[in-house]
Amino acid sequence: MDKVEHIGIAVRNLKDAGSLYERLLGCKSYKKEVVESEQVITEFFKVGETKIELLEASSDKSAIASFIEKRGEGIHHIAFAVDNIVAEMERLKNEGFNLLNETPKRGADNKLVCFVHPKSANGVLIELCQEIKS
């Protein structure tokens, strides 16, 4: 894995959280994006090489809604940049990690993503992401 690409933070209200993080980080977000497949609305900030991804549920059935229900707002996942997501998924599978999807899927911010179950990573949801080259 290359680096921490972003940290995902579950929030109840993107408008409030977005302006709070603008004040906290001293910069404006560079992107807002609806991810239909995950039923979330995301907002991204750049901090050096790393990004902060705020996530608000767009429906009650969203994983973000149930996360907040159970654990409240807070850090939801850590995403690592990888060069070859398929190879990395294979490697982790062989290491005994429980992957949440069998094939990479399209995530926010022009990425192919795969998630590792928090139960196999000390309670932390891990995301692998690979930039989609156009």
Segment interacting with Zn ion (CB under 5 A) among 13-21, 61-69, 80-88, 124-132: 124-132
Q: How many CA atoms, within 13 angstroms, populate the side-chain half-sphere of residue 62?
A: 22
> With respect to Zn ion, which residue has the nearer C-beta, 48 or 96?
48
Q: Which of 10, 14, 79, 82 binds Zn ion (CB under 5 A)?
A: 79
Interaction of residue 64 with Zn ion, rule CB under 5 A: no
CA-closest candidate to residue 129, choices 86, 65, 70: 86
Site for Zn ion in 7-46 (CB under 5 A): 8
* Closest among 97, 93, 99, 52 to 76, alpha carbons compared: 52
CB-wise, 97 or 105, nearer to Zn ion?
105
Q: What are 54's two structure tokens?
A: 């705020």
What is the contact surface with Zn ion in residues (CB under 5 A)?
A: 8, 53, 79, 127
